[in-house]
Structure 1
Amino acid sequence: MGRFIIVVLDSFGIGAMRDVPKVRPADCFSNTAKHILEAVPNAYWPTLERLGLMNALGEEVGRMHFSKQARFGKADLAHIGADSFLGHQEIMGTEPKPPVNQAFNECIKEVADHLSKKGHQVRFVGADDEPKILVVDETVTVGDNLETDLGQVFNVSSCLDLIDFKDVVKIGREVREVVKVSRVITFGGRGITLQNLLAARKVKENRFAGIDAPESGVYDHDYHVIHLGYGIDPNVQAPTLIHQADIPVFLLGKIADIIQVDGSEDYPGVQSEQLFNQLEMLVEKHPTGFFALNIQETDLAGHAENPARYEERLSLCDQKLAELLPKLAEEDILVVMADHGNDPTIGHSQHTREQVPLLFYKKGTSKVDDMGVAKSMADIGATAADYFGTKPPQHGTSWLAKLND
């Protein structure tokens, strides 16, 4: 028993799901990986090529070719839509409770009344003929998330020079008590004021209103975040089951914000190079453990509809993966994957519902092995639990026998 490592290249999908024409027509023909390679013709990711990215994609594009020594597959999304929070819950082997899809203004009065009863000062912001957001204690805003699928997520945004993050989390949990959307993302940053947040207020479809988080500057300095999900039970997820077996669990990047494991070592952050360096140090220090890293900068580039920036972040990740591989032992398993798509060329700035690559690395691979299509990304969590000999998570089928074949 050694290390089981998952690296999630956030939003790096490899082609629209079959159900997209019916459930998400705006995502038709999306293919994040392929379209980035087409948009940046000189792009070349030798480590991802070696691990079988193009084999999983099913075609060669630009300078990228099929690998002759790779174990690869791909996975469908079992969760509704194309969401990072739900995607990571799925990866870890649980199936979230079906959420309600609604605009914040459909429940804004209920939220305002609840917060007022909790002792907060609350006011509405917005013109008479448009949807509103809430300002809480003159330091926090509550509204729709405009960066992911509209109606799935509410944001609690804050100015951490004016309020402690633990108090922001308290407000976020109070909002969570009365809403049924998939996520309440509670976050804040330093160096911004309430005026910065309100200056980035936007309205979409005359139904959704929220803060454009990147435009507000909230991500720029000392960013803090916690994702509060609807109907999530961490006790049936692979990381919790692995930790309960006295095996160390390390969560890095956005995964540390959205997967809750009592006793895990958490290393939140956004900067890709810093996170990979942290992963390398942990791998060198711990011969056994479950490691899960999310690289968020790829997703941020997708939201910005910037294929050049996306490619640049992928090139860095490819280099860092090349540095990681020699540090792995014979018994270690590495999985490089995604959680959904975010095609920066598709014509909108939201996630795209795509299949994701499953690229496996285990020393000694000497042939091309197409391991097939997983019906759910939960198969990865199930494989991790099987690797460590723990109880299986709530959902998923282990691929460990295939990997050991």
Structure 2
Amino acid sequence: MRFIMAKFIVVVLDGFGVGEMPDVPTVRPQDCGANTAGKLLNHFPLKQLPTLEKLGLINIVDATNSVMTPNPKANWGIADLAHYGCDTFMGHQEIMGTRPKPPLEKPFSESIDDIEQALQLAGYQVKRIFVKHLQLLMVSDSVVIGDNLEADLGQVYNLTANFNQITFEELKEIGQIVRSANAVSRNIAFGGYVPSMDNILNAIELKADEFGIEKYIGINSPDSGTYDDGFQVVHLGYGVDANTQVPLQLNKVGIHTYLYGKVADIVQNETGTSYTSVVDTDQVFELLINDLKEKSGFFCANVQETDLSGHQQDPKRYWNILEKADRGLAAVIDAMDQSDLLVVMADHGNDPFIGHTKHTREQVPLMLYSSKMQGVALGKRRTMADIGASVSSYFKAQLPESGQSII
């Protein structure tokens, strides 16, 4: 095949949006004024991200006080979110060529009875944890189940586990039972070696709906300590057809797919190589660069720590992670050949100045690097699926169900 030795690389800076979507005032008024990249650049005007500057970041986010400048040789554009809300799981399904469908919104309180019954029928010890008028489930004194408080409320349920008391394999079995008993778009089963269940229970929080009514209850994931030691995760999706996505389309024409970090946790890639449960930014790039030196195919890496910094509303940490990613991207470019392509993008926003700890519904940057292309306007894309379509087009594979190639 003509492109058998070529590489198409996508690096997703998770949560690095470039300004609110036009529909935000109507569908997510809490995100009005969101601009993750713009606010960070203004907050750190004397700091530099030389690789992202070279790739065209300031071409995209131009109204800032940053010492960095636009690059006339950069290939750049922006993309709208075609999925509802601003969810990492659905964002990456969209990048892989899925046409997103409207999600079900159902607080955990409306699913707790069905989930509890399914777990009890399977023989598990289940008890309820009461906080005010809301309840969580605890399974086998080692797993807490409730709303995900970081994604769009009501669309995701979390299972937070202490691996000092239960194995990841046992957690996944519980996760499958929970998945079978509810219809929200995603269930996430994850955990780490936490000193005590009190660390998890002390991270319980309640969240209010748009009317100020406390309606959601769950674990604040970054505060629970599960990311700190031995973190493992599985994302259990609903209604996503992997047969229409890029990895399986590429496999049909003999092209291998490599996934790194959170994208490996949430995108089905049975025929490829997936480096799951990798959160550390330096490790993500180390794994990616090692493969780029020896292998060819489609490579997609997710930098999750930017997103975690947004959830923590921590601009300083966010910028420190961007600096790590900038160095990693420089090493990626050094490992590329003339025929290779690199796309740097995001999946949504996570404005660390917005005043809440959830994702923000923002457009995402598109920065394309190739030694053969300079100064190309990629324009405004209607969906991030255009990247998946571009990958399939590049390797002469069948296009996914959504998206138009930009190359």
Question: Which interval holds the TM-score relative to the shorter structure?
Answer: over 0.9
- Please say which of residues 201-210 and 375-384 is displaced more in the overlay: 201-210
Superposition pairs of residues 14-53 of structure 1, within 5 angstroms? 14-53=18-57
Residue 314 (structure 2) aligned to one of 306, 309, 331: 306
Structure 2: which amino acid aligns with 1:393?
P
Q: Number of aligned pairs?
A: 397
Unaligned runs of 5+ in 1: 401-405
User: Where does residue 188 of structure 2 map in the other structure?
Assistant: 185
Deviations 1:91-137 (A, max 9, x none): 0001244321121001111110111111111111014x421000011
How many Å separate the matches in 2 of 1:335 and 1:321?
10
User: Is the Cα–Cα contact under 8 Å of residues 18 and 349 in structure 2 kept in the other structure?
Assistant: yes
How many Å separate the matches in 2 of 1:374 and 1:96?
15
Superposition pairs of residues 2-401 of structure 1, within 5 angstroms? 2-127=6-131, 129-205=132-208, 206-268=214-276, 269-286=278-295, 288-366=296-374, 368-400=375-407
What's the RMSD between the two structures over aligned residues?
1.2
User: Is the Cα–Cα contact under 8 Å of residues 87 and 340 in structure 1 kept in the other structure?
Assistant: yes
- Please say which of residues 386-395 and 238-247 is displaced more in the overlay: 238-247
Identity %: 44
> Secondary structure of 1:228's match?
strand
Deviations 1:317-339 (A, max 9, x none): 11111122122111101000000
Structure 2: which amino acid aligns with 1:63?
V
User: Is the Cα–Cα contact under 8 Å of residues 338 and 356 in structure 1 kept in the other structure?
Assistant: yes
How many Å separate the matches in 1 of 2:299 and 2:329?
14
Structure 2: which amino acid aligns with 1:38?
N
Structure 2: which amino acid aligns with 1:44?
Q
User: Is the Cα–Cα contact under 8 Å of residues 97 and 230 in structure 1 kept in the other structure?
Assistant: no
How many Å separate the matches in 1 of 2:373 and 2:8?
16
Deviations 1:27-56 (A, max 9, x none): 111110010111222221111111111112
How many Å separate the matches in 2 of 1:213 and 1:350?
12
Deviations 1:288-344 (A, max 9, x none): 210000000000111111111111110111111112212211110100000000010
User: Where does residue 403 of structure 1 map in the other structure?
Assistant: none
> Secondary structure of 2:146's match?
strand
Unaligned runs of 5+ in 2: 209-213
How many Å separate the matches in 2 of 1:144 and 1:225?
16
Shift of 1:60: 4.7
- Please say which of residues 31-40 and 204-213 is displaced more in the overlay: 204-213
Shift in alpha-carbon separation, 1:224–1:111, aligned structure 2, 3 A: same
User: Is the Cα–Cα contact under 8 Å of residues 34 and 61 in structure 1 kept in the other structure?
Assistant: no
How many Å separate the matches in 2 of 1:132 and 1:5?
44
Shift of 1:58: 4.0
> Secondary structure of 1:285's match?
coil
